[in-house]
Amino acid sequence: MDKATYLAAWDRYMILGSEVFLGIGLLIFLFYEFKIAQIKDPKEKYDYVSTHEIRYFWYAFLAVVIAACIFLNSVATETVASRYQWLIYVRLISTGILGIIAYLFTNSVINVYYPRYLMKRLDRIRNKPRVSPEGNTMRKLSEEEEDAHLDEHMIAEEASAVHSVDYDVWIDEKTGFKKIEKYFDYLHTEECADCGYYTLKIDVEEIVTPPTHSNPGVLHKHYKCSFCGHRELKKVTIAALSANVA
């Protein structure tokens, strides 16, 4: 195979490879959006988004990065190899290294900025009005109202010193139908007061004063920012046990 034929074949395969990986990235993105559209229950959608969105996002992004690196190896190939043909292999290695650097840099940037969008999206899903089996719009109870609908096991989980959870209670006021949804607080990130990024996360939780049947308790949530290292403490009042049981 002469040099001109070889270089033409090289360009053709590089372009084909970039198109394949670009298509893979697009398919991953479309599959994820299709999967989300198929989930009708807001709680199930919330769980799926919080568990899978970042993973699918990175798979799609990685495919696009690979597509870009491969495509760069089809640009001006004849000029690059005009003196030494092996330079096209040097370029292949160089673009691979650049691709890794670009991926690592973007990964760091998105870990700082993307959670802001994700948390807002999850918040919209979590607070979207639920619909009862009878077709009525349900109302989300306030923290004070929901206490009477939780049993002691749920109360203990909300007050746990190790990775506490939170419960949302929705009720159909026309029929009395009730739906209780469970959320894990420690998986969520919040906006850091120092750097402003959504990288503040629960690090440690401890019950300072356990609740009793006559007095409320106190829970301390210790937060740490994964970006700037900022720490802060939030005090949470745990309702008295007598007020929590219907």
The CA angle 211-217-219, to the nearest 5 degrees, is 125
CB-based contact 169:140 (threshold 8 Å): yes
Task: Let me know whether 10 and 117 are in one domain.
Answer: yes
Q: pTM for the whole thing?
A: 0.72
Is the confidence at residue 77, as pLDDT, over 90? no
22 plus 114 within the same structural domain:
yes
pLDDT of residue 157: 65
| Amino acid residing at 8 | A
- Name which of 61, 72, 53, 49 is nearest 25 in CA terms: 61
What pLDDT, in 10s, does the model give residues 130-140? 999 999 999 99
211, 238 contact by CB (below 8 A): yes
Q: What is the pLDDT of residues 231-244, one digit of tens each?
A: 999 887 776 664 44
Question: How many Å apart are CA 242 and CA 140, to the nearest integer?
Answer: 22
Across 26-40, 49-63, 145-159, 191-205, the highest mean pLDDT is recorded for 26-40
Are residue 11 and residue 101 in the same domain, yes or no? yes
pLDDT recorded at residue 91? 87
**Is the CB of residue 189 less than 8 Å from the CB of residue 155?**
no
Q: What's the CA gap between 4 and 70, in Å, rounded?
A: 20
User: Considering its fold, how many domains does the chain have in total?
Assistant: 2
Where is the domain boundary, 126, 156, 173?
126
Question: Strand order of the sheet with strand 165-171?
Answer: 139-140, 165-171, 178-184
For residue 63, the enclosing domain spans 3-126
Structure confidence by residue, pLDDT tens digits, 194-225: 888 778 888 887 878 887 777 877 878 888 88
DSSP 1: -
Question: Within this chain, do residues 144 and 121 fall inside the same structural domain, yes or no?
Answer: no
Query: Are both 30 and 7 inside the same structural domain?
Result: yes
